[in-house]
Structure 1
Amino acid sequence: MSSNALYTDLSGYYDLMCSDINYQQQSASIHRLHQFLGNNGKQHLDLACGTGPHVRHFIDLGYQCSGLDINQPMLDMAMRRCPEAQFNLQDMTAFYLEQPVDLITCFLYSIHYSAGIERLKSCIASVHRALNDGGIFCFNSVDKHCIDNRLSIKHFAEFEGYHFAFESGWHYNGQGEKQSLNLSIAKRQQPFTQLTDFEADTSLHQTELWQDQHTMVATSFAELQALLAPYFEVHIFEHDYEKIVPWDLSSGNALFVCVKI
């Protein structure tokens, strides 16, 4: 598959794939950070917005929202979910807004879809141009030096009489600016009986299996801070949407809150 095929062909399953994500909690957490560090404006843009679940919650929090993604099937679903919002088919590494906004978000590690340092630089510059004075850019990131290639996340769901097993994990070879996000979806009529049955079950003839590998940009947090520094005052917090805690300087997942300067 191409780097984008999984999301394009299976966009109808995207919400199911992310059904374990607490979008409301994530949105409320960034709203609090915007209240503390931002300009209190209510114009919001969500980069790599997907089917619009975060946009939905920001609308409910009183924001005037827009979303941007490179997948039209995702945007079609987002428009049905959030008819009040504006959605644009654009690449987040080189986008343009007619009117600046006060808050730009990029959830679910989507900042790494920039797929290279130069494209990441372009994304950061585009975000800076799109923000009002005092506006903030919020995103989560993973430090390449903290990636454990052995780890993955799995969860199971049911939809229209089928049972799904979703698995994702980061991989970094230890050098360079490229890492990958490895994804798989298994679909079958019988349930996946337990977590350890996943690999065995996917070999059975009644199981449909999709696999994809997305090329992502790899950075350390120090490198990322250096890229952001010409444009923003950078604050880094622990990857915890329940409370606001400064980054402990060692964990490999963090929330970046960047105030335009």
Structure 2
Amino acid sequence: MRSRIIYEHLTLGTIPSNALYTDLSSYYDLMCADIDYQAQSSYVRRLHQLFGNSGKRHLDLACGTGPHIRHFLDFGYQSSGLDLNQPMLDLAKVRCPEADFILHNMCNFTVEQPLDLITCFLYSIHYSDGIENLKQCIAHAHAALADGGMLCFNSVNRNKIDNRSFVRHSAMHDESEFVFSSGWKYSGQGEQQFLTLSIEKHTDLEKQMWNDEHPMVAVNYDELSALLEPYFEVHIFEHDYEKILPWDGQSGNAFFVCVKR
């Protein structure tokens, strides 16, 4: 994974991979302050009631600092989280002390007891960089689920990525203004796309900038469905956390509900 950080007025150089999630992990929740974690979690709970096996054993892949897990615990699930970055898990444990957390790669994880629900929010399924890694992630999720268990995740269709589009928001923290922006980049060919992330921190005396670029797996929905269907009954929905609507076949963001065969 390639990652670069620039400190304006301070230094210029490179840092290890996963910089945003380790060196800058304390900023992660601030970066995601505009995300409605409760709406996302409630949406999946409704889907699980409709399509799931009524069990309560839950694992959140790429759980980050655990905000989704907090809601699932409050819903009565026996929730746990998995992530590749220990600083994120340390923050998650503070937020969810009753949950178990696993430091591991989501492409080759195993569990001691079968699960009823596996979630992977915020397009994190794409961190399975490369089709082969994505295949492994799907296979290991299938193996970890109990009969009738459900895998849920959101995804972006590589054929619909607009390289000019990005989202941006700002927040105040410790008397500093932070500006966050992110966007997808895809060259138009191959199985790799990039998530570009930037953070600006403004104070009265200086400006700091962090810029990260993360390679992620690029798939279209026909390819993704073909990878899933040997293992799961696949349902695709519009990326709308307020309404459960079938995917219209056109939009570039969708939510996948996969029930173990």
CA deviation map 1:211-258 (0-9, x unaligned): 000000000000000000110000000000001000000000000000
1:117-156 matches, within 5 Å, as: 117-156=131-170
Give the aligned partner of residue 6 of structure 1: 20
Stretches of structure 2 lacking an aligned partner (at least 5 in a row): 4-15
1:183-202 matches, within 5 Å, as: 183-190=197-204
Output the CA distance in 2 between the equivalents of 1:26 and 1:245: 14
CA deviation map 1:37-56 (0-9, x unaligned): 00010000000000000000
Give the aligned partner of residue 241 of structure 2: 241
Whether 1:77 aligns to 2:87 is: no
Which consecutive aligned stretches of 4+ in structure 1 deviate over 4 angstroms post-superposition?
none
CA deviation map 1:175-203 (0-9, x unaligned): 0000000000000115xxxxxxxxxxxxx
Output the CA distance in 2 between the equivalents of 1:189 and 1:237: 42
Stretches of structure 1 lacking an aligned partner (at least 5 in a row): 191-204
Contact 1:3 1:215 (8 Å CA) reproduced: no
Q: TM-score, normalised on structure 2?
A: 0.94
Q: Residue type matched to 2:185 in 1?
A: H
Give the aligned partner of residue 8 of structure 2: none
Give the aligned partner of residue 196 of structure 1: none
Identity of matched residues, %: 66
SS in 2 for 1:12: helix
Q: TM-score, normalised on structure 1?
A: 0.94
Give the aligned partner of residue 229 of structure 2: 229
SS in 2 for 1:51: coil
Output the CA distance in 1 between the equivalents of 2:21 and 2:73: 24
Whether 1:211 aligns to 2:211 is: yes
Output the CA distance in 2 between the equivalents of 1:126 and 1:75: 21
CA deviation map 1:58-95 (0-9, x unaligned): 00011000000000000000000001100000000111
Output the CA distance in 1 between the equivalents of 2:143 and 2:23: 33
